[in-house]
A and B are shown apart, each in its own frame.
Chain A
Amino acid sequence: MNGSDLIMYEEEFRKIDEELQRLYIQTNSKVVFLVDKNGQLIASAGETHDIDTTSLASLTAGSIAATGGIARLLGEKEFSILFHEGEKDNIHISLIGQRIILVVIFDRRSSLGLVRLRVKKVSESLVRIFDDIGSKTEKEKTEGRMEESPFAEISDEDIDNLFR
């Protein structure tokens, strides 16, 4: 598994959720969500009910990956912000700490300037939280698990049962 699995703990998840809720309110946006670079949705805030967030997460990650490919071809390290402007809705995508993607969807009730400003602020807090997660995961690897692993007692039968 390449030793780089992302593990999300209750405590950090709560902190991330708080940051996203705050960003959602401060930017007056429609939806805010966080995706890891491989396309997994991590957390979201706002009017998510009529949006297919799983697909959105995967496509956003694809878009960031393609843009990263273009950047390397041009000799850039990365393009850390993408912005798409639509007739009603706009989408602001930013790469945080080279690993996490923050997406803000907003309409005329907000503005690009406001979104950029707030995203920049929240990014610093999010980087710190993900650093904490990284060190916690490392610590668990060396010192043993703090929370019960779902795999601790998983049996071959459990796995087989999934496929019945």
Chain B
Amino acid sequence: MSFINYSSREINCKIVYYGPGLCGKTTNLQYVYKRTNPDQKGKLISLATETERTLFFDFLPIALGDIRGFKVRFHLYTVPGQVFYAASRKLILKGVDGVVFVADSQIERMEANIESLDDLRINLAEQGYELDKLPYTIQYNKRDLPSAAPFDSMNKLLNPRNIAYFEACAVTGIGVFETLKNVAKQVLIELKKHY
């Protein structure tokens, strides 16, 4: 649910990074935070455990610039990936405008990817959304690892509709901004359709 404020001339949209535990959702946000100008970003908030696993969510507000005199802001959220945080994951999806699914490319994480993608669909449906109708981008993370699954088979498995996807290595930043730009653009195009 985007928030259009005619009084302060602002548009705020919410993007959620979803995916299995340890796939690199928080790493994506950390890289965006590191590489964004101080005047374009707010604080990166991480509600994490002592071992740096996301407990509730990470949050990063960024300002992209102006469109027709309106400030465009995106609020980036991650969900906790671990299976037993299911209840928290649902809450974060409330009011989402666009979704990034971060898939872990390692072969041994393929089942976790599928499980997480199913979980995403179910949780969205509970909020009255359909994944196929939302601005949505897939990121294949950890492509640099030797245990990465062959790209084609992975894409076939996780992306049957062949929507926009990006290969990434979030630790070094490869593909991070490409992913964000793609989903942000889809969100704005969607808004344009409605207003």
Contact of A38 among B14, B45, B67, B72 (CB under 8 A): B14
| Residue B68 lies at the interface, judged by CB distance under 8 Å to chain A | yes
Contact A37 B190 (CB under 8 A): no
Q: Is the CB of A150 within 8 A of B181?
A: no
With A150-B67, A159-B188: A58-B6 Cβ-Cβ less than 8 Å: no
Given contacts A4-B1, A8-B3, A149-B195, contact A40 B12 (CB under 8 A): yes
Q: Are A150 and B57 in contact (CB under 8 A)?
A: no
Question: Would you call A162 and B67 a contact (CB within 8 A)?
Answer: yes
Could you say which residues of chain B place their CB within 8 Å of the CB of A156? 189
Segment of B21-29, B30-38, B91-99, B156-164 in the binding face:
B91-99
Residues of A within 8 Å of B48, CB to CB, are: none
Check A5 against B194 for contact (C-beta < 8 Å).
Answer: yes
On chain B, the residues within 8 Å of A62 by CB distance are 47, 56-57, 91-92
User: Whole-angstrom distance between the alpha carbons of A40 and B75 in the complex?
Assistant: 9
Asked whether any CB of chain B lies closer than 8 Å to the CB of A142, the reply is: no
Which of B72, B94, B189 gathers most chain A CB within 10 Å? B94
Contact of B3 with A163 in the complex, beta carbons under 8 Å: no
Smallest CB separation, A131 vs chain B (Å): 18
Q: Does B42 contact A (CB under 8 A)?
A: yes
CB-based contact A14/B195 at 8 Å: no
- Main SS at interface, chain B: mixed
Is B65 close to A, CB under 8 A? Answer: yes
- Number of A interface residues at 8 Å Cβ cutoff, please give it: 42
Contacts A62-B56, A151-B195 given; does A52 touch B189 at CB 8 Å = no
Q: B172 to chain A: which residues have CB within 8 Å?
A: none
Q: Contact string, A57-101, partner B, CB cutoff 8 A, digits 1/0?
A: 011001001101100000000000000000000000000000000
Does B87 reach chain A (CB closer than 8 Å)? yes
B100 to chain A, nearest CB (A): 16
Which residues of the other chain, B, contact A162 by a CB distance below 8 angstroms?
A: 64-65, 67, 72, 184, 188
B107 interface contact, C-beta 8 A: no
Q: With A52-B43, A62-B91, A161-B65 known to touch, is A147 a contact of B185 (CB < 8 Å)?
A: no
- A116-147 contacts to B, CB under 8 A, are 145, 147
Q: Does B5 touch A at the CB level, under 8 Å?
A: yes
Q: How far is the CB of A1 from chain B (nearest CB, A)?
A: 5
**CB contact under 8 A between A54 and B185, given known A7-B4, A153-B68, A162-B72:** no
Mind listing 15 A-B residue pairs with CB under 8 Å?
A: A8-B3, A8-B5, A39-B14, A40-B12, A40-B14, A54-B42, A55-B45, A62-B47, A65-B91, A149-B195, A151-B194, A153-B68, A154-B68, A159-B189, A162-B184
Which residues in B have some Cβ–Cβ distance to A below 8 Å? Answer: 1-9, 11-12, 14, 42-43, 45, 47, 56-57, 59, 61, 64-65, 67-70, 72, 75, 87-88, 90-92, 94-95, 97, 128-129, 181, 184-185, 188-192, 194-195
